[in-house]
Structure 1
């Protein structure tokens, strides 16, 4: 599950980058890309921290 959430977070960050590069002058797409970036970054951070906490418990 953690690996899937990590992959999804990378896909969300890729989509946000694509939206910003495809529509650089659109305020609406910038807002949508900003929201997607926030969600992707938080998902990436939670999957990373949950992966590290599991490694810490396995020691």
Structure 2
């Protein structure tokens, strides 16, 4: 499972999808839940982005 999650296509998907949701969540739901969703997705997106940078050669 670790090999699958650390592959570049999966990291790109996690990065882009979670970044999109993090940006759209406060626009769709302007409550505390939308902000919490945005923060959680942003953390996952940053983690995937760091994984992409770490794997660079």
TM-score, normalization by structure 1: 0.71
Larger radius of gyration: 1
Tell me the C-alpha RMSD between the 2 structures: 1.3
In the alignment of these two chains, the number of paired residues is 51
Alignment gaps of 5+ in structure 1: none
TM-score, normalization by structure 2: 0.72
Instruction: Please identify runs of 4+ aligned residues in structure 1 that moved more than 4 A.
Output: none
Alignment gaps of 5+ in structure 2: 1-6
